[in-house]
Structure 1
Amino acid sequence: MVCPEYWQDGVDAAICEGIRLLGGIESIFGKEERILLKPNLLAKAEPDRAVTTHPTVFKAVGAYLREQGYEHLSYGDSPGNPLGGVARVAAGCGLKEPAEELEIPLGDFSQGQKVNFEQGQTEKEFIISKGILDCDGIVNICKMKTHQLERITGAAKNMFGAVYGVNKGAFHAKYTDADSFGAMIADLNNLVKARLHIMDGILAMEGNGPQSGTPVAMGLLLFSKDPIALDTVFCHLIGLNPELVPTNRYGQQYGVGTMDAEKIRVRTIQGDMTVEKVAKRYGKEDYDVYRGTEKATQIRLLKPIQSLLQKKPYILREKCIKCGICAESCPLEKKALEMSGYPKYAYKACIRCYCCQEMCPQKAIDVKVPLLARIMDRNWKI
């Protein structure tokens, strides 16, 4: 749905029409079910930074469900660094006020429970937040953003917020490259199946995402019952090959959804369109996202010069306030950052999960692609 700005009446209308085009809300959820609204609450951030789900979109979804007679609603997410608790992060992102206005309580994301998942192809055990386990169905209200590890974060990656607290860091330590992490996310999406995915792309984020990038106007709201199809359309809109996104690739392989553009039809108020036509009409070819190709075998052949090809996070001293959140966010037991004045990286220990960059509140960490890697147009697996 085209939606150029966060004007509440306009967003309300777009949410209503988008869900109608999917077949209506009652084809997705029963009135008696407990429905959780799962926004992106990465960290406390002003809405105009495009870090988190915009409160106008969140309010529109909640108000629509209330108007349709859905009484058993809750909301929540497990932020990457929930200082002061989830409620404080929600307040800092502007979601607490509309939630209270609509009488939508915060779910319990203060504790988790181990869930065995024998069907998992990569991961067979997750610690899931109680707020997720307490609901019958989920509306995944994700954000259109770039991501240093997975290239983009959209519908599939947003479900990582179902994992309870510090266990998110443990998964980064366990799955240290983009492929294995993406495979784990695919298993998670098969375990915790959101039925409706709504992507806030009115104001998206490009560049150094998912927290330190640049807001960019896309003017779109995307809706789907299939998170991989939704993320695939996102990729086409920004000129990124969907196969380069591990969450897409493993999401299709593991049966979460499809990234085959030939099998995806995009419903609009003007009628059905192909993904190609939608990208041509509404896309942004100069969207700042890494589009380099990747070859798994090449890294073994060039292992002696691997350090010259790896992406590296680095500190922007002019922005750093020495708060130490980057070091706290490192999932390794022996941290890859030392706090002696400005943070200092131990690159030999760094697993390139970019949790430090993701959680920095000052946009003081960027990621550089070495010149040799740029010349060879390779995104080496790290």
Structure 2
Amino acid sequence: MMEKSKVALLVCKDYGEKHVDQAIKEGMDLLGGAEAFFEREEKILLKPNLLGKASPEKAVTTHPAVFKAVGKYLKEHGYNNLYYGDSPGNPIGASKVAAECGIKAPAEEAGILPADFSKGTQVSFDEGKKEKQFMISNGILECDGIINLCKMKTHQLERITGAAKNIFGAVYGLNKGAFHAKYTDADSFAEMIADLNNFLRPRLHIMDGILAMEGNGPQSGTPIKMNVILMSTDPIALDTVFCYLINLKPELVPTNRYGYEYGVGTMKAEEIEILTADGERTIEEAAETYGNKKYDVYRGTDKKTQIRLLQPIQPLLQKKPYILKEKCVKCGICVNSCPLEKKALELREYPKYDYSLCIRCYCCQEMCPQKAKLMDRNWKI
């Protein structure tokens, strides 16, 4: 019988140090302890989600309490060669984003050193099915193993962003925009993400779902309590459990589909074992006990399964970004974040879109610090 992918599900109702420490310890114990993943002399990188400058209560980035608890656990168990970092889309740099998000202070307190995310190196991955070349931040390449500290959020392109998608932060700097320009739809982008996961192979994935984000994620959505931390060695199984908790079919998430197809992990419920402090649960039982069926996430059918008769009016049904002028401060970050050589928007009195150029990558929405970008269907605007 094939061994199932184990996902530890820990209830944690707030970010109090005692509660988060206990949840991380329970999860590590359920999965076999840190020694199941790392040798003590290895150089371990903690890779949080540091999308951009945002305070922890906005649920944009990995909460510093979760980061601190993981570092504390490792230190207490003899793992002292610890580093941290991420390559945010914001051009201000990893160090400033880490400070704004509350990650830098606990890292310094615990002696967790910043890894080098100021430079990148071109690497080849001949086994890649969609992408065989990546520009990876040096801090990633210099470590022996990665702990992926992801955030439970919605995402305009892939429906959700979790364990699999968070690894995209390993790509150095503005090269992320080049991938958005190269892979302009959710499916091809997810294929690249699957190759990236197979190349980097993080040892452990820990999802901060105590305060999650629903709606217009990954930066402009609404914080919502989910009261859970998920942990697994299998990023696709972890993201699949996330999907079940929010009443979303896992196969509708492209990063799940291609992650499964490319051998990153499994999205089959019968191949996933849920471990809790109160014993094992089926994935359906976990969804019923710990989930939120009303979580605001797009559950419509994938475009590949849409009725053929609707194809002529597909442009009217497609989401597009638009500006909330009352929130826009005309900073120009949205224009700079557009990955196209010929930008799909320009800064006039306010940013203005040329929708004939827009590839719907949602980088503008993702990087807007004012939540001044929303998505909607053309016919509603």
**Runs (5+) with no aligned partner, structure 2:** 1-9
Indicate the residue corresponding to 2:91 in structure 1. 82
1:148 and 2:149 correspond: no
Matches within 5 A, 1:1-382: 1-83=10-92, 85-296=93-304, 298=306, 304-370=312-378
Higher relative contact order (CA 8 A, sep 6+): 2
> Cα–Cα, structure 1 residues 248 and 165, in superposed 2: closer, same or farther, change >3 Å?
same
Conserved 8 A contact 1:299-1:306 = no
Q: Secondary structure at the match of 2:274?
A: strand
The percent identity for this pair of structures is 70
Contact conserved, 1:43 with 1:82, CA < 8 A, in 2? Answer: no
Decide whether aligned partners of structure 1 residues 212 and 295 sit closer, same or farther in structure 2, where only a CA change above 3 A counts: closer
Question: Residues 145 and 153 of structure 1 are in contact (CA less than 8 Å); yes or no, is this contact kept in structure 2?
Answer: yes
- Residue type of the alignment partner of 1:26: E
Q: 1:369, 1:224 → 2: CA distance?
A: 36
Distance 1:262 1:193, change over 3 A: same
- Counterpart of 1:296 in 2: which secondary structure? helix
> Helix, strand or coil: the match of 2:302?
coil
Indicate conservation of the 8 Å contact 2:83/2:115, yes or no: yes
CA distance in 2, matches of 1:328, 1:193: 31
Q: Which residue of 2 aligns with 1:379?
A: none
User: Equivalents in 2 of 1:48, 1:358: separation in Å?
Assistant: 17
User: Aligned with 2:242: secondary structure?
Assistant: helix
What is the distance in 2 between the residues matched to 1:192 and 1:299?
A: 38
Shift of the alpha carbon at 1:369? Answer: 2.6
Distance 2:306 2:278 in 1: 46
| In structure 2, distance between residues paired with 1:215 and 1:295 | 28
Contact 1:143 1:201 in 2 (8 A): yes
| C-alpha distance in structure 1 between counterparts of 2:306 and 2:288, whole Å | 33
Report the CA distance between 1:298 and its aligned residue.
4.7
CA RMSD after TM alignment: 1.2
User: Is this contact kept in 1: 2:52–2:367, CA < 8 A?
Assistant: yes
Name structure 1 gaps, 5 residues minimum: 373-382
Partner of 1:380: none
Structure 1 counterpart of 2:106, one-letter code: P
1:9 Cα deviation after fit: 1.1
TM-score (norm 1): 0.95
| 1:77 match: secondary structure | coil
Q: How far apart are the structure 1 equivalents of 2:166 and 2:326? A: 31
Q: Which residue of 2 aligns with 1:375?
A: none
Code of the residue aligned with 2:87 in structure 1: it is: S
TM-score after normalising by structure 2: 0.96
Instruction: Quote the Cα distance in structure 1 between the aligned partners of 2:378 and 2:344.
Output: 20
How far apart, in 2, do the equivalents of 1:371 and 1:28 lie? 50
Q: Distance in 2 between matches of 1:71 and 1:280?
A: 39
